[in-house]
Homo-oligomer: A and B are copies of this chain.
Amino acid sequence: MAVNHHAARPHPATGAWMSGHPVGSRKFLEFAGDRPFALDGGITMHGVTVAYETWGRLDADGGNAVLLCHAWTGDSHASGPAGVGHPAPGWWEGVVGPGLAIDTDRWFVVCANVLGGCQGSTGPASPHPADGLPYGSRFPVVTIRDMVRAQARLADHLGVARWHSVVGGSMGGMQVLEWAIMFPHRVGSIVPIATCAQATAQQIAWGAIGRRAVRLDPKWQGGDYYLAADGDGPWEGLSIARMIAQVTFRIDNVFTDRFGRELADGATLREGLDLWQRFEVERYLEYHGDKLVRRFDANSYLAIGKAMDLHDVGRGRAGLATATARIKAPTLVMGISSDILYPTYQQRQIQQLIDDGGGAAEYLEIDSPHGHDAFLINLDQVAPPLQRFLERVAKP
């Protein structure tokens, strides 16, 4: 297995179609061609790369490793300042670091960009080994389980036989659950947050509608926009998809409190009416849509969204109960009171399933008005119980 420290090769996700990004402090693991990577969907990939970051040091006995799993548009940069390749600080800045809840003085913390992503790991924008051109429409469907298998290879590479804990929210939580089910002997404890055992019809609906918006954008070009002469891509479609997601990440009354019925740019209705005049909430959503477009590849958005829709820990395992009965690792499930996308009944279901299967799960509810994203916002509620849990399960 060759380790590629990325200096010598162009980043797969750069080019005119994306603001010149990554290649910062990230490290890359490349699965050599002699280790093909078999996907859930039956296809075998070659030359798969996993981009990851680490914080802290692995103990001699390898017992202090913690894996963080990122959400839909996240990446390996869980902690640390913005910088080259990192336009924003870490997504869990304030939770991960020296002396923080996931104390990097104590734990060896790892976070990898998911398979299908666009922040260094192999994804639709990466070169296809056959011709060096971007996968584009040739990129296969990947699943949460495929993402976890790629992380397992990274664990092998890092010498981590068993994670002290695997922690993540939203899609990260899906990976957390799959880790505990696929590799029970390699997982000491898990913390799935604001996630589900299987995607519901409504979750599938929101994801699928967003994907159709990308597909509708003529600049998507069937997924093969990377080599467009003008460097253009399906920004508008991706922005619309993101706008949909952004509404489901928040809740009604927070939108009302924050935006009300104000018009954008200080306009007033007395100046006349226009079909495309924006209310402030539209400006906000467009801002978030445009922000995503600058940092994220549309095809990765499609690939990862589909992986989430396909998420069902019971698939091929005789159902949810049988699957979750494999989870014996101590579990801290967190839900968010105002989450309309992953309502708390889904996290309580996870706890119940694990308990019913003879495991030991506890449930903690974050009381927040911030909706699904609260696990990235209300750190005062997330961090202390997480810290205590990591300490507690460390005791023999």
Contacts and interface: CB of A to CB of B under 8 A. Distances in A.
Contacts of A191: none
Interface stretch (A50-58, A250-258, A372-380): A250-258
Contacts of A41: 272-273
A74 interface: no
A206 B237 CA distance: 15
A269 interface: yes
A240 interface: yes
Interface stretch (A1-9, A148-156, A196-204, A386-394): A196-204
Interface stretch (A306-314, A329-337, A358-366): A306-314
Interface string A213-255: 1011110000000000000000011001001100100011001
Contacts of A255: 200-202, 205
Given A216-B236, A216-B237, A279 B208 contact: yes
Given A201-B256, A202-B256, A205-B243, A143 B273 contact: yes
A292 interface: no
Interface string A176-214: 000000000000000000000011111011101101110
Q: On chain A, which size bracket covers the interface?
A: 35 or more
A140 B277 CA distance: 13
Given A216-B237, A269-B310, A303-B275, A208 B285 contact: yes
A288 to B, nearest CB: 11
A206 B240 CA distance: 11
Contacts of A236: 212, 216
A274 interface: yes
A204 B279 contact: yes
Interface of A: 40-42, 140-141, 143, 198-202, 204-206, 208-209, 211-213, 215-218, 236-237, 240, 243-244, 247, 251-252, 255-256, 258-261, 269, 272-276, 278-282, 285, 302-303, 306, 309-310, 312, 315, 340, 343
17 contacts: A41-B272, A42-B272, A42-B273, A143-B273, A200-B255, A200-B261, A201-B258, A202-B251, A202-B252, A204-B261, A204-B279, A205-B247, A209-B240, A209-B285, A218-B218, A275-B303, A340-B340
Rank and list the top 10 A-B pairs by shortest CB-CB distance, nearest first.
A41-B273, A141-B273, A201-B255, A201-B281, A201-B259, A202-B252, A208-B282, A202-B255, A209-B243, A205-B247
